[in-house]
Structure 1
Amino acid sequence: MTQNALLVLGSISLVCVVTILISVHGLRRSRTTRDFYVASRRVPPWMNASAIAGEYLSAASFLGVAGLIMAFGTHGLWFPVGYTAGFLSLLVFVAAPLRRSGAYTIPDLMSLRLPSRTLRRLTALLVVFTGWLYIIPQLHGAAIALSATTGLPGWLGPAIVILVVLPTVVSGGMRSVTIAQAVQYWFKLSALLVPTMFILLRVGAGEADFIPDLANAFETELVIETHVSTYRTISLVAALMLGTLGLSHVLVRFYTNPDGPSARRTTVLLLGLLAGFYSLPIILGVVARAVLPELAASASTDTALLRLPDAIFTGVVGDLLTALVAGGAFAAFLSTASGLVVSISGVVSQEFFGGTVRGFRIGAILAMVLPILAAYITTGLALAGAVAMVFTFTASCLAPIVLLAIWWRGLTVHGAITGMITGAVVSLGALIAGQLLELEGFTATVLQYPALWSVPLVLAVTMLVSALGAQRPPAHTEAVLARLHLPEQVTEPAQKY
């Protein structure tokens, strides 16, 4: 085995060992159900912001953004813009009301607003399905990172993620995951910041060969009609902005804040952390496009960050920087997968095991079963593309209902159920058709990027069914909305949740 492979394995091992040690610490402190589900609602804003950034910056962010810059030039910049803007939407519309709801999961929130067993079960199914879809790119990313840097079989990457994530979640629940994700964010940031500094210093120290290539790094040979490109960009940004509002593993983190104002402060801090992080893969993607032009036309653009240090540096410096990037990539896979498993576990436990700690642990195991099978039988899209599809799905079926549940008093159970089903069927059908059918031009783009028309459709269907149907909003609607929107000092403390 080469020196480079040994260093990479050492870096990955360090990340895994630190994560497991944190889980052991969490086991000592997690003694109640509230510890497992919401860390006893005592997570301060700075730690929660770091933890959310840790789980949100997934394989698509760490490796995929640079890969998109490699493949599409300036067109790839819309992904980090949309990812970050999603939390601006969350700050304005959702963060504080969500925390004031006092719920543990999204199904809990829906039950508080619209008491219905059918709606609760439908919401739970969509949350679990979304989590499964999101875990698959993390496992694919682990396979790509390990095989590209060490030459080892790709299946070992997902195996490592599973063997670390399950003990972390099962042992300490949300408390363990919170600390681990906060640490992993700062490790991921360092894993990109240090190589970026070395590479920029190298480029700026007289490597004149890079200068003309860097100047033209955003040139792209894409031939896209203007109206098609405009539609695709707007629809993509809409999906990424609204999709964040439907990601259960992100929303559940706001239940861990002490109160509504701290949830808002968490989101403000988070925007700064995300902006700081995303600047790094963009810079590295530009350099990689100039240094590794052969990757831009290949199917291996997701490996750009992993190959860049060796392309610029020779010897031990390149090996050390590659190991650091690989370790950061695995921190991304572990933190996002941990958050997803916690989210799925909470829903499974609440729905089928009475909300017990034992049910939470069983849910954690069940959360990994389908993604493991799917990861080994699919080759997948590019990482960022696969995650964008998940955002489109959640933007269509969950985000509109969550927004209406928080902000519109006219929402009914029938309207919410109809809207969720419509969004799930329409968005998933369009995405599958866009991938399987050999279409070109605007028709293909409309199917591959359906958020711009699917979200308004779901909102219209939900509001029409609620307004024109025979069913009326629940009698306690005004009281629930007051609880969601008034400061905690004004409303009565939550009793049920």
Structure 2
Amino acid sequence: MTDDALLVLASIGTVCVVTILISVFGLRRTRTTRDFYVASRRVPPWMNASAIAGEYLSAASFLGVAGLIMAFGPHGLWFPVGYTAGFLSLLVFVAAPLRRSGAYTIPDLMSLRLPSSALRRLTALLVVVTGWLYIVPQLHGAALALSATTGLPAWLGPAIVVLVVLPTVVSGGMRSVTVAQAVQYWFKLSALFIPTVFIVLRLGAGEAEVLPDLANAFEVALVADTHSSTYRTISLVAALMLGTLGLSHVLVRFYTNPDGPSARRTTVLLLGLLAAFYLLPIILGVVARAVLPELTASAPTDTALLHLPEALFNGLLGDLLTALVAGGAFAAFLSTASGLVVSISGVVSQEFFGGTVRGFRIGAILALVLPIIAAFVTTDLALAGAVAMVFTFTASSLAPIVLLAIWWRGLTVHGAITGMLTGAIISLTALLTGQFSDTEGLTTTMLQYPALWTVPLVLVVTMLVSALGSQRPPATTDAVMAKLHLPEHARQHATESTSDA
């Protein structure tokens, strides 16, 4: 094995060892069921913001954004815009009410708002399916990163992720995962920031053969069908913005804040952390487009960041920077997969094992079985494209119902169930049809990027069934809405005023 491969393995090994050590620390600190599920709701905003950024910045963010810019030029910039804007939507519409709900999982939130065993089971099923779909790109990313940098068999990448994530989650639950993800965010940021500094300094030295190409890096031909291109962009941003509201591994983080104001502060800090991170793959993607023009034909563009250091630096420096990027990529895979496993484990435990710690650990094992099988039997769809499909699914199925449950008093059980089923079925059907279609044009684009029409359709169907059906909103609606939207001291004041009257 070559020296550069050994450096990459050392970097990946360091990330894995640190993650496991943190899980051991989490095991010593974990005492109750609340520690496993929501870290006893005592996570401060700065820690929670770092942890959310750690799990949200997945394979699609670390490798996929630069790969998109490498492949499509300025069109790839819409992905980081949509990812970041999703948390702005979360801040405005969801963060504080979600924390005030006092629930552990999204099915808990839906049961609080609309008591129904059928709705709870459907919500739990969609949460688990979404988690499974999202874990698969992380495993594909691990396979891609390991094979591209070391030449080792691709299957070792997913195996490493599973062998590290499982003990991390099983040993300490949310408490250990929170610390691990916070550390992994800062490692990921450093893994891109340090190479960016060296590359900018190299380019600043005035390399004649690089600068002219860099200036023309974004001179790409636009898609011939302007209407399809415009629709694709708008629908993609809508899916990324609204899909964030339906990601269970992100939403569960807001249950760990002490109160509603802390949840808002967490989101504000998070927006800054995401903006700081996304600036780096954008810069590196532009440079890669100029320095590695042949990559699009010879290798997947998702490997652009992994090949960029060795293209600009010879010898030990290039090898060290490549190893750093590879370690950061694995930190991305581990942190996102950990968050997904925690969210799936919580749902499985609550629904089938009475919410016990033992059930949580069994759920963690079940959360990884199907994705690891799927990762070995599916092809390497572009990382950002695969994640965009997951965002589209959640934007069409879970997100509209979560928004209506928080903000609309008229929502009924029948309306929520009909809306979830409609969104899940039509979005999956459209995405699969679009992927297998061999034609081009606006119709195919609408199937490949359906969020712009599926989300309004789900909202209309849900509201019509709720308003025109025979079922009425639960009698507890006013009390639950007050709990979601009023601070605790305001609710107590309202209760005292009612009692006096």
- Report the TM range for the smaller structure's normalisation: over 0.9
CA contact (8 A) 2:349 2:355 kept: yes
CA contact (8 A) 1:72 1:222 kept: no
Cα distance in structure 1, aligned partners of 2:425 and 2:87 = 26
Q: 1:247 — aligned with what?
A: 247
CA deviation digits over 1:293-334, x for unaligned, max 9?
Answer: 011345510000000000000000000000000000000000
Go from structure 1 to structure 2 and tell me whether the alpha carbon gap of 1:298 and 1:442 turns closer, same or farther (over 3 Å shift): farther
Cα distance in structure 2, aligned partners of 1:69 and 1:151 = 25
TM-score, scaled to structure 2: 0.98
Offset at residue 227 of structure 1 (A): 1.1
Residue 221 (structure 2) pairs with residue 207 (structure 1): no
Q: 1:100 — aligned with what?
A: 100
Cα distance in structure 2, aligned partners of 1:369 and 1:268 = 35
Residue 413 (structure 2) pairs with residue 413 (structure 1): yes
Residue 39 (structure 2) pairs with residue 44 (structure 1): no
Flag structure 2 segments of 5+ consecutive residues without an equivalent: 494-501
- 1:259-278 residue pairs with structure 2 within 5 A? 259-278=259-278
Cα distance in structure 2, aligned partners of 1:263 and 1:372 = 33
Offset at residue 219 of structure 1 (A): 1.8
Residue 115 (structure 2) pairs with residue 142 (structure 1): no
Go from structure 1 to structure 2 and tell me whether the alpha carbon gap of 1:199 and 1:485 turns closer, same or farther (over 3 Å shift): same
Offset at residue 372 of structure 1 (A): 0.5
- 1:12-161 residue pairs with structure 2 within 5 A? 12-161=12-161
Q: 2:327 — aligned with what?
A: 327
CA contact (8 A) 1:259 1:488 kept: no
Please report the RMSD computed on the Cα atoms of aligned residues, expressed in angstroms: 0.9
Q: 2:442 — aligned with what?
A: 442
Offset at residue 222 of structure 1 (A): 4.5
CA contact (8 A) 1:69 1:282 kept: yes
Offset at residue 428 of structure 1 (A): 0.4
Report the secondary structure of 1:293's partner residue. coil
Offset at residue 223 of structure 1 (A): 3.0
> Which AA in structure 2 matches 1:192?
L
Cα distance in structure 2, aligned partners of 1:453 and 1:380 = 28
Q: 2:341 — aligned with what?
A: 341
Q: 1:399 — aligned with what?
A: 399
Offset at residue 224 of structure 1 (A): 3.0
Cα distance in structure 2, aligned partners of 1:342 and 1:267 = 20
> Which AA in structure 2 matches 1:285?
G
Residue 312 (structure 2) pairs with residue 306 (structure 1): no
Cα distance in structure 2, aligned partners of 1:451 and 1:134 = 17
CA contact (8 A) 1:184 1:332 kept: yes
> Which AA in structure 2 matches 1:140?
H
- 1:454-473 residue pairs with structure 2 within 5 A? 454-473=454-473
Residue 397 (structure 2) pairs with residue 389 (structure 1): no
199-208 or 8-17: which moved more?
199-208
Residue 231 (structure 2) pairs with residue 231 (structure 1): yes
CA contact (8 A) 2:223 2:229 kept: no
Offset at residue 381 of structure 1 (A): 1.2
Report the secondary structure of 2:488's partner residue. coil
Cα distance in structure 2, aligned partners of 1:224 and 1:355 = 54
Q: 2:5 — aligned with what?
A: 5
CA deviation digits over 1:419-447, x for unaligned, max 9?
Answer: 00000000000000001122211111000
CA deviation digits over 1:120-172, x for unaligned, max 9?
Answer: 00000000000000000000000000000000000000000000000000000
CA deviation digits over 1:174-216, x for unaligned, max 9?
Answer: 0000000000000000000000000010011121211111111
> Which AA in structure 2 matches 1:349?
S
> Which AA in structure 2 matches 1:281?
P
Offset at residue 274 of structure 1 (A): 0.1
> Which AA in structure 1 matches 2:434?
G
Offset at residue 340 of structure 1 (A): 0.1
Q: 2:169 — aligned with what?
A: 169
Offset at residue 491 of structure 1 (A): 2.5
CA contact (8 A) 2:8 2:149 kept: yes
Aligned length: 493
Residue 371 (structure 2) pairs with residue 360 (structure 1): no
Aligned residues: percent identity? 86
Residue 317 (structure 2) pairs with residue 317 (structure 1): yes
Flag structure 1 segments of 5+ consecutive residues without an equivalent: none
> Which AA in structure 1 matches 2:42?
R
> Which AA in structure 2 matches 1:58?
S
Cα distance in structure 2, aligned partners of 1:344 and 1:489 = 33
CA contact (8 A) 1:289 1:296 kept: no
CA deviation digits over 1:48-91, x for unaligned, max 9?
Answer: 00000000000000000000000000000000000000000000
Report the secondary structure of 2:23's partner residue. helix
Offset at residue 492 of structure 1 (A): 5.4
Cα distance in structure 2, aligned partners of 1:177 and 1:437 = 40
Cα distance in structure 1, aligned partners of 2:258 and 2:491 = 15
CA contact (8 A) 1:23 1:167 kept: yes
Cα distance in structure 2, aligned partners of 1:269 and 1:298 = 40
